[in-house]
Amino acid sequence: MSNDTVRHNWTLAEIRALHDLPLFDLLDKARSVHVQHHPNNELQLCTLLSVKTGGCPEDCGYCSQSSKHQKSPVEPQRLLDVDAVVAAAKQAKLNGATRFCMGAAWRSVKDGPAFERVLEMIRGVKAQGLEACVTLGMLTDDQARRLKEAGLDSYNHNLDTSREYYPKVVSTRTYDDRLHTLRAVRGAGIGVCCGGIIGMGESLDDRCRLLLELSSLDPHPESVPINSLVPIPGTPMGELPRVDPVDVARMIATARVLFPTSRVRLAAGRHELGREGQILCLYAGANSIFYGDQLLTTPNPEPGTDVELLQVTGLQPLAPALSDAAPLTATATA
Ligand code: SAM
Ligand code: DTB
Ligand code: SF4
């Protein structure tokens, strides 16, 4: 398969037909695309850090950090110091991560000291030889330009679900607000990390419409995170059932076929998939995971368990950009 098979004109019917194939036929297609474009059995390890936790004015129904969900267990915290973030990035690198992603529970970025501090964090992370990614909410063109100037590689801003289902998930912003920020990111020359969440009560067509929307972005997002809902008690989605691992694998395999050259990330919800569920998702075409015992506010598998996952699959962590990272061991610290 050559790059001319990177398509931006998929139809919903085509995507749904792919998604609904007999499982092994879908896996065969995804695997064939995967080995043509990502031949090295590589797995990208990204470590996440919440640099500003809680107190967010948006009302995303899945999120522990919304101030609208009074019963969520998350206590708001102030923006971390640059030194603490750089120390966490150094540790992430020692543990074998090559990408460091920082999340802030903001609706949008405000110009001022907090933004200046985030720019300093990005410079500090880049100085460690790590890829830097942030997710800060909505951005203006000028803010995107300043993030790029600070050395930012990638901006995470998820569409989360279909345009049709979006109002069931969040009422304080629109789908077009999200697309507007994605254009600002792309316009500044920053890589786009954009995906969604399954398991929020959406239909299979909604999942396929999300993929359709993402596939219409030109160029495609360099990275497509597929999150499974982590139900947080005290949020509107806190009582929803866990996603079936086979459903996650179907979503990942469909994304792999649609986004041949992108990284597809097996993101939130990995904890509950179990070892074999995760292996199925990696076989389906995921080539990136969050690595470290914490996502933003919820637990992630222990690094030692992930090292075993790499050993049992024979996957290799993506080589670090600089060579002073320690080799992975099952005792890697969080
Ligand atoms: N405030 C920023 C924003 O919304 O763009 C950045 C932080 S937000 C927590 C980053 C992403 O994490 C969300 O877009 C969503 O896809 C994912 N996420 C948040 N809570 C989740 C949950 N409980 N389960 C699964 N994914 C979740
Ligand atoms: C993404 O798509 N998933 C990550 C990252 N981008 C920022 C966040 C997952 C959050 C899971 C819930 C939590 O830990 O609060
Ligand atoms: Fe705020 Fe982001 Fe959580 Fe939505 S997902 S409530 S914008 S932190």
CB contact set of 118 (below 8 Å; sequence gap of 6+): 51, 79, 102, 104, 109, 134, 136
Residue 325: per-residue pLDDT: 46
Three-point CA angle 232, 236, 237, nearest 5°: 55
pLDDT per position as a tens digit, 139-165 = 999 999 999 999 999 999 999 999 999
As its CATH architecture, domain 9-316 has Alpha-Beta Barrel (3.20)
The one catalytic residue in 99, 173, 186, 193 is 193
Concerning whether 194 is annotated as a catalytic residue, the answer is no
pLDDT per position as a tens digit, 265-315 = 999 999 899 999 999 999 999 999 999 989 999 999 999 999 999 999 999
Query: What is the distance in A from the centroid of ligand 3 to the CA of 88?
Result: 22
pTM of the model: 0.95
The one catalytic residue in 186, 250, 265, 270 is 265
Number of alpha helices (DSSP H) and beta strands (DSSP E) in the chain: 11, 10
Query: What is the distance in A from the centroid of ligand 1 to the CA of 196?
Result: 9
For range 204-213, the mean pLDDT? 98
List the domain boundaries for the chain: 9-316
pLDDT per position as a tens digit, 113-128 = 999 999 999 999 999 9
Q: Is the dihedral of CA 113, 115, 121, 123 positive or negative?
A: negative
CB of 133 closer than 8 Å to CB of 152: yes
Give the Cα separation of 209 and 215 in Å (integer): 10
The mean predicted confidence, pLDDT, of the chain is 93
pLDDT band at residue 1 using 50, 70 and 90 as cut-offs: very low
Distance of CA 255 to the CA centre of its chain: 13
